[in-house]
């Protein structure tokens, strides 16, 4: 097991800069998730740990060793891909043994490692099957088994669950978390799915256009997003944003949204209006329903989605902005209803013209 460190890593593909000045520390035994939209550089960063991509500048270390120019096979990492990448003509056992055979691991040791990985992954009854005789979830378990038998210092996962159906994805997510508990290994996991990031990570790294946008434990990113980008990416449905103006006051600042005055419950110490229009962020689950006229602002309900346990209300403000509200499952409101919304100042987020949070 080992820590992983990146210092000032840049990666160019011709004129395309895929990674910009990435500096990051991953602790020994940590489960770290790289998350962000498609094309933000997640796979490039992961593959640079494995040595499958050479970086343009900067330094990568695994454990106490700089590995920037070390061959992939000498880095002590094992990677699991979305596509499984199993040999179709080999049995499960042969697939798991193959890498060890290449590396000259003795037969008895190979058998012991396969037996142990098969036990951990509940593959014992499937060892003599070929990949075509397995379900998607079983194939992915074999791919993970092939990584385990390498006894790597660091496990690297690139969207390993994306090919599985929704129910199996949830099940495998829980299995991977249990595997991490059991092995205590350093794991780096790439996904575009913020739910996977929130549920699995000790530490989330949000990437945006090749840059590290924010690093922290899941609930820190949820409660205190450092930027509008992170705020909009973490949480579902996404945070609502309204363009507002800041009005400082003696007993606490407030923002104005059209004719509506919204107290912030604190003094920010910023100049009037700050530097341009600000963006107020409110999560759908932090909007509380009231009678029209009784809350901070009124909205018209346009669309309702009843999911059973909760109901999403798609509403519109008098200014024409859409606000999504996460309400109780038994909320009985039909399109056309006018409702009031109460806001808890402690739950509000505020972002400057540069997208950075003003409340942290
Ligand atoms: P992600 O995994 O977050 O979807 P990638 O790391 O695959 O993103 O890609 C980051 C950026 O680098 C994208 O703009 C992508 O088009 C570009 N890119 C990735 N691989 C290559 C390549 N082999 N050649 C050229 N551009 C690439
Ligand atoms: Mg990718």
The predicted-structure confidence for 10-32, as pLDDT tens digits, reads as follows 999 999 999 999 999 999 999 99
Is residue 265 pLDDT above 90, yes or no?
A: no
Q: Is pLDDT of 58 > 80? A: yes
Residue 235, pLDDT score = 95
pLDDT at 251: 77
**Quick one: pLDDT at residue 149?**
95
The answer to whether the CB of 40 is under 6 A from ligand 1 is yes
pLDDT at 259 over 80: yes
Q: Is the CB of 263 under 6 A from ligand 1?
A: no
The yes-or-no verdict on residue 84 having pLDDT over 90 is no
| Helix ranges (DSSP H) in 184-253 | 194-200, 218-223, 228-233
Mutate to test the pocket of ligand 1, among 39, 81, 192, 207 (most ligand atoms within 8 A of CB): 39
| pLDDT of the residue at 273 | 61
pLDDT at 276 over 80: no
Whether this model's pTM surpasses 0.75:
yes
Is residue 230 pLDDT above 70, yes or no? yes
DSSP 239: P
Q: How confident is the model at residue 271 (pLDDT cuts 50, 70, 90)?
A: low
- pLDDT over 90 percentage in the chain: 84
Cα 292 from chain centre: 37
For atom 22 of ligand 1, the residue with the nearest CA is: 13
| pLDDT exceeds cutoff 80 at 297 | yes
- Could you tell me where the beta strands, DSSP code E, fall in the chain? 4-13, 16-26, 31-35, 57-62, 65-66, 77-81, 154-158, 186-191, 203-208, 211-216, 240-247, 254-257, 260-263, 278-282, 287-290, 297-306, 310-317, 322-328, 338-343, 349-351
pLDDT of res. 86: 93
Q: Label residue 268 by pLDDT band (50, 70, 90).
A: confident
pLDDT at 210: 98
Over the stretch 241-255, which tens digit does the pLDDT of each residue have?
999 999 888 778 899
Q: Given pLDDT bands bounded at 50, 70 and 90, which one contains residue 274?
A: low
Would you say the CB of residue 235 lies under 6 angstroms from ligand 1?
no
**Which region, left, alpha or beta, applies to residue 270 given φ > 0 means left and ψ of -120 to 50 means alpha?**
beta
The first and second tokens of residue 321, run together, are 């902005």
Which of residues 360 and 176 earns the better pLDDT score? Answer: 176
CA separation for the pair 202, 217 (Å, rounded): 6
The per-residue pLDDT for 334 is 87
**The pLDDT of residue 83:** 86
Confidence of residue 2 (pLDDT cuts 50, 70, 90): very high
Residue 84 CA to ligand 2 centre (angstroms): 14
pLDDT surpasses 70 at 53: yes
Cα-atom radius of gyration of the chain, to the nearest Å?
25
Share of the chain above pLDDT 70, in %: 98
pLDDT for 9 beyond 70: yes
- Of all protein residues, whose CA lies closest to atom 23 belonging to ligand 1? 13
* Predicted pLDDT of residue 332: 86
Pairing of strands 154-158, 77-81: parallel
For residue range 195-223, list pLDDT tens digits in order: 999 999 999 999 999 999 999 999 999 99
Question: Region 34-38: what's the mean pLDDT?
Answer: 96
18 C-beta closer than 6 A to ligand 1? yes
Who wins on pLDDT, 353 or 268? Answer: 353
């Amino acid at each position: 097991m080992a820590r992983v460190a990146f210092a000032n890593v840049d990666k160019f593909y011709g004129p395309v800069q895929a990674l910009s000045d990435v500096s990051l520390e991953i602790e020994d035994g940590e489960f770290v998730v790289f998350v962000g939209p498609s094309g933000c550089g997640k796979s490039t960063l992961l593959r640079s740990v494995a040595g499958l991509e050479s970086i343009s500048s900067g330094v990568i270390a695994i454990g106490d060793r700089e590995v920037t120019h070390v061959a992939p096979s000498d880095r002590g990492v094992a990677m699991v891909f979305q596509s499984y990448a199993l040999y179709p003509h080999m049995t499960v056992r042969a697939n798991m043994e193959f890498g060890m055979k290449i590396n000259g691991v003795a037969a008895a040791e190979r058998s012991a490692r396969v037996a142990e990985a098969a036990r951990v992954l509940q593959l014992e009854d499937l060892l003599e099957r070929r990949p075509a005789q397995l379900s998607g979830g079983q194939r992915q378990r074999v791919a993970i088994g092939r990584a385990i038998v390498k006894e790597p210092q660091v496990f690297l996962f690139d969207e390993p669950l994306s090919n599985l159906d929704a129910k199996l994805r949830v099940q495998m997510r829980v299995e991977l978390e249990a595997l991490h508990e059991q092995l205590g290994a350093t794991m780096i996991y790439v996904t575009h799915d913020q739910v996977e990031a929130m549920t699995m990570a000790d530490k989330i790294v949000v990437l945006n256009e090749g840059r590290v946008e924010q690093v922290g434990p899941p609930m820190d990113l949820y409660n205190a997003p450092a930027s509008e980008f992170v705020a909009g990416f973490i949480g579902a449905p996404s945070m609502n944003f309204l363009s507002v103006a800041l009005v400082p006051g003696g007993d606490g600042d407030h923002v104005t949204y059209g004719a509506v005055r919204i107290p912030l419950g604190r003094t920010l110490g910023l100049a009037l209006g700050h530097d341009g229009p600000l963006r107020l962020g409110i999560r759908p689950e932090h909007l509380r329903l009231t009678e029209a006229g009784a809350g901070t602002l009124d909205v018209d309900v346009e669309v309702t989605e009843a999911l059973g346990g909760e109901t999403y209300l798609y509403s519109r403000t008098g200014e024409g902005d859409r606000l999504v509200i996460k309400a109780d499952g038994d909320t009985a409101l039909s399109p056309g209803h006018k409702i009031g919304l109460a806001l808890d100042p402690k739950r509000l987020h505020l972002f400057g013209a540069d997208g950075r949070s003003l409340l942290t």
